[in-house]
Chain A
Amino acid sequence: MRTTPAPMSAPTTGPARTTGSGEVTPAVRAVDACKVYGAGDTAVTALDDVTLDLPAGRFTAIMGPSGSGKSTLMHCLAGLDTLTSGRVLIGDTDLAALSDRERTLLRRDRLGFVFQSFNLLPTLSAEENITLPCDLAGRRPDREWFQTVVDNLALGGRLSHRPSELSGGQQQRVAVGRALISRPDVVFADEPTGALDSKAGAELLRFLRSVVDDLGQTVVMVTHDPGAAAYADSVVFLVDGRVVEELEAPTRDRVLEVMGRLAS
């Protein structure tokens, strides 16, 4: 178990959940996922028959050029948006079969989110932001887990501060904390380092890495930064709404190489 993951290091499997046969169960599956915006002449196919397994206990990056459907894919996987056709499964749960309310509760109890910016509620303190999903569920947060998360994210001293009193990096860590508080099946992060400077970005990525390694969580991250993708266990490449390549144990250079190949 490493504590300071380096971009160059080999992929590791975290304490994954396993089925009886010992095989790694996907935390999230997309089957023939299609998403079309609009209709007729103006229709845009954002996802084109995407089939994808995202294994539990792993850190997966989704990459691709701008407009390739990364965000759309993530929103559909996370139950924030619905597919035009195809299926998304969180564990055994088929998202398409859920009502809006059920999807909301699923997000609250089984998924976590980190967005590029504007993640936190400005009126709540850092601690209140972290425990928000529990509060919404009317549950008391598990204190031990809360402490573990907070310690991991090195937020100890700033829990009573409002978001406006925190740096961008700290705000994103609070957002990660909130995403983790209900021990979700998956944490989704859409360009979480997009609004951060490189130092804070690197720090956040190390935290995400440790979330997978030390806390056994599953993380799916959208990024267009090859350096960021190198923190992941595997990278999925999207072009024009299609999965075109998957890369295990990525390094920055290998990611760049694939990107170059895909661009040409």
Chain B
Amino acid sequence: MFRFSLRNLLASKVRLLLTMASVAVGVAFVAGTFVLSDTMAKAFDELYAGLTAGTDVVVRSESAYDADLTTTGGQVRPVDEGLVARVRAVPGVEVAEGSVFGYALVIDSHGQPVQPGGAPTFGTSIAVDRRLSGAATIREGRAPVGLGEIVVDARTVRRAGLALGDHVDVVFEDARRTFRLVGIVGFGETDSILGATMTGFDLPTAQTVLGKTGVVDEIDVRGADGISDSTLRDRIASVLPDGVGAETGEQVAADSTDAVRDAMGVFTTVLLVFAGVSLLVGSFVIWNTFNVLVAQRRREVALLRAVGGTRRQVLTGVLLEAVVVGVISSAAGLGLGVALAAGIRQLLKLIGVDLPTTTPAIETRTVVAAFSVGVVVTCLAAVLPAWSAARIAPMEALRTAAPVNRGSGRIRHAVGWSVLAVGALMLAACSVAGDQRWWTVVATLTTFLGLVFVGPSLARGLAAVVAHARRPGWRMAARNVARSSRRAAATALALTIGLTVVAAVAVTAASLKDSVSAAVSGGNRSDLILEPEGAGMGVSSSVADLLRARTDVDAVVELREWGAQINGDDQLVTAVDTAGLDRVIDLGIASGSLDALRAGSILVSTAQARHLGVSAGESVTVTFPETGPRPFRVAGTFDKGSLINATYVITLSDFEQNVTSRLDQAILLTTPGLDPDRAKERIGAALADYPNVTVNTPQDITRKAQHSVDQLLGIVTALLLLAVVVAVLGVVNTLVLSVMERSRELGVLRAVGATRRQVRQTIRRESVLMSTLGAVTGVALGAAAGVGLARSLSEQGITTVAVPLVTLAAYVVIAIGVGVLAAVAPARRASRVDVLRAVAEE
């Protein structure tokens, strides 16, 4: 039986390749995701291990909870520098040095900020004891001493066009300062830490410029020979005050890696969602392929049954074939996945995230996941076809007629339309009700399930309409689609899935874009909005001071945000100047009042207030990672926070008591009496020392936000296109198989005078019909799902729903165009059938 299966497989290499490709893409996504995240974790592991190599114990404040790296930057409350002496006095401690970190942006020789995309720009103190710096070494020059000296990482030195002895300008949280470059830092073989720019100073200088006078962020300790890290840690811990802890260097490295892994979680999830979509599409292609194969082999199987093959043997045979396909495609997918991971790494490097070099990490888990996903999906998709193969009666060997579409059962029909109707109604209900994210997903899946059932009927319906065409090409194409309506439907459904997701994303993105402009024009009262450029970490607070001193600026409102837990949930807390707040923004206060926002109170978005079940006057607990739980009184609720992306608003003074960072996320200004463009120009000129700050009119903000939505849409669509490609492979596969199946028919057609072109046209039109079916159902379902989704993302700032009809229509047209392309090879094959062989009597 096994040999039989294998022989069947090898009989058509093209088919095998197409079938495999449809699984391999999905597997590649799964494997690629794992390889990428494992490789990154490994790289960070090695990096942190290197950095902490010379450090036995680290002393620092404990975080109130495991805060998300992306919203807190890992900042813990600094400790008093007096503690360094106390730690140094612990027996067994050989060296103990305080160190500080903070925001520091290097300005290059042309006055432009050296801004890596996404990676931090930080300054730190350079340990006097070189061994404490671990893998971070001074490659050239020497360590900095005193207020005027700086060392910079090698990558930044290169990018900024600097040389030893040059003057380097650096923007800090509180000012811009000038230094002389005395050393260049490297990290083992790597020039930078993940593309971050790093500047180093001696400790007193670092404390001054980073705003940490009299405090240190951590104390790095090296023990005397012969004392174990854990013993040392325990001894040190016993002298530390409450809230300050000691950890071994290894532990710190491991924790840092974990934190990075957590921060990558969203990224990983998104990639796995793409994997899921392409696997679903792929499973339809597999299902279809096996269905066709079984149909083509009916006589063969029947013959096998007639000579004594049992049902079980037939079933096993087909499933065995599926397993082989699954295993081969998984192996291919795994290879592709490793390449994909490398590709994404290169992509990250292009945008400035310089990953430390390391070999790709292919864990056993990745291999197991790749193979089980590939094999399971293939087998699941082949189960039904295998089952129907097993039910072929031996008698069929004697019948000569080609397999005809058995009429689908009336029950299946009724169930299908009911499921479709239920799904559609649910979708409509979700769109009307709003805030039904999960129900929208359930409704979409239900509708899709309905489509699976009624797909053949839809295919026949479409064919019936087209069959009335006068042109014989269309008529024949329609008849062929109607004849194998199940196959056509399954082929189209693969496309449906891809286009559903693409269309849903398009609707959500369009809604988001509209909401952004609505938010800016609705809640905004400011004339100018200052933001850090690109993926910058923030704007120095000295910028706000500089603006307040100007006479042409009226209100200046600083805005900061930080991660914190509200009643136990991770959230972003926004802090604002209360003075002048209602001159720059209308928060749309729904209850309570803006005036009630004072120290110790908080404004909560209406939706979150409902979620938490609190109202004005009641209390919520905000847990800051640095300082722990603090009670806040709800001053009121608001509706229109989307301009500043705020759900929780506190005062700047409360923020400063609980968060060390002084960076502004944005500064909102009013410039009464000034023409906006003129104001932009003047403020821009005044901020010449801060080239990392962009001055924007509200229109600029809208445009920037819409642009970033477009960019995101582009990336997501590009990734989803891979799923569409799989579906297109399915179309090619179906067409090739049906051309093979119909070679005699095509021969007759050619014999009675159909030109090659006419034959090609017929196949192309079949493809177009299937693509149309997939495209129209997919785009319609996706649009409906998108509306439901957009209606459920009001908290994420989607307040209006927009359906981009032109884009959706373009998707349909493109999908049909792709159908034409998919038909090229099968059509050519069809037009080359050997007329004589086709019509020769058997």
Contacts and interface: CB of A to CB of B under 8 A. Distances in A.
Interface of A: 71, 75, 80-81, 100-101, 104-105, 107-109, 113, 115-124, 128, 132-133, 135-137, 164, 178, 190-191, 194-195
Contacts of B751: 80, 107, 113, 115
A132 B401 CA distance: 22
Contacts of B835: 80
A154 B476 CA distance: 26
A40 to B, nearest CB: 22
27 contacts: A75-B836, A80-B751, A101-B755, A104-B750, A104-B756, A105-B753, A105-B755, A107-B751, A107-B753, A108-B753, A108-B754, A113-B752, A115-B751, A115-B841, A116-B841, A118-B744, A119-B748, A122-B402, A123-B476, A123-B483, A132-B752, A133-B752, A133-B753, A136-B752, A136-B753, A164-B401, A191-B841
A133 B744 CA distance: 17
B842 to A, nearest CB: 8
Contacts of A104: 750, 753-756
B836 A81 contact: yes
Contacts of A116: 841
A77 to B, nearest CB: 13
Contacts of A133: 752-753
Contacts of A120: 748
B307 interface: no
B398 interface: no
A118 B749 CA distance: 11
Given A104-B753, A104-B754, 6 more contacts: A75-B836, A108-B752, A108-B754, A113-B752, A121-B748, A136-B472
A71 B840 contact: yes
Given A115-B839, A123-B479, A123-B480, A101 B753 contact: no
B482 interface: yes
B758 interface: yes
Interface string B454-483: 000000000000000000100110011011
A194 B841 contact: yes
B94 interface: no
A13 to B, nearest CB: 29
Interface string B735-769: 00000000011001111111110100000000000
A146 to B, nearest CB: 16
Contacts of A123: 476, 479-480, 482-483
Contact of B472 (A107, A132, A190, A191): A132
B839 A118 contact: yes
Interface string B397-424: 0000110100000000000000000000
Q: Which of B480, B750, B751, B841 has the most CB of A within 10 A?
A: B751
Contacts of B401: 164
Contacts of A122: 402, 483, 745
Nearest to A78: B751
A132 to B, nearest CB: 6
Nearest to B480: A123
A191 B841 CA distance: 9
B483 A124 contact: no
A191 B479 CA distance: 29
Given A107-B752, A119-B748, A124 B836 contact: no
A100 B744 contact: no
A104 B745 CA distance: 16
A132 B754 CA distance: 9
A120 B752 CA distance: 10
A123 B401 CA distance: 13
A171 to B, nearest CB: 12
A74 B835 CA distance: 13
B756 A117 contact: no
Contacts of B836: 75, 80-81
Nearest to A102: B755
Nearest to B839: A115
A164 B404 contact: yes
B815 to A, nearest CB: 25
B828 to A, nearest CB: 14
A253 to B, nearest CB: 28
B274 to A, nearest CB: 39
A80 B836 CA distance: 7
B578 to A, nearest CB: 76
Residue in B402, B753, B756, B840 whose Cβ sees the most chain A Cβ within 10 Å? B753
Contacts of B472: 132, 135-136
B839 to A, nearest CB: 5
Nearest to A111: B753
Given A115-B841, A136-B758, A121 B476 contact: yes
B705 to A, nearest CB: 54
A177 to B, nearest CB: 12
A107 B836 CA distance: 14
Nearest to B478: A123
A121 B754 contact: no
B456 to A, nearest CB: 16
A109 to B, nearest CB: 7
Contacts of B404: 164
A178 B752 contact: yes
A222 B839 CA distance: 14
The 5 nearest A-B residue pairs measured at CB: A108-B753, A123-B479, A135-B472, A116-B841, A107-B753
Contact of B749 (A81, A121, A191): A121
Given A118-B744, A164-B404, A124 B476 contact: yes
A117 B840 CA distance: 9
Interface in B479-496: 479-480, 482-483
A119 to B, nearest CB: 7
Given A104-B754, A108-B753, A136-B752, A121 B841 contact: no
B840 to A, nearest CB: 7
B841 A117 contact: yes
A121 B402 CA distance: 12
B404 to A, nearest CB: 7
Contacts of B476: 121, 123-124
A71 B615 CA distance: 93
Contacts of B402: 122
A71 to B, nearest CB: 7
Interface in B348-402: 401-402
A120 to B, nearest CB: 7
A113 B758 CA distance: 19
A223 to B, nearest CB: 13
A122 B738 CA distance: 14
B734 to A, nearest CB: 16
A89 to B, nearest CB: 19
Interface in B699-756: 744-745, 748-756
A194 to B, nearest CB: 7
A190 B839 CA distance: 10
B296 to A, nearest CB: 16
Given A118-B744, A118-B748, A121-B745, A109 B753 contact: yes
A81 B750 CA distance: 12
A113 B749 CA distance: 11
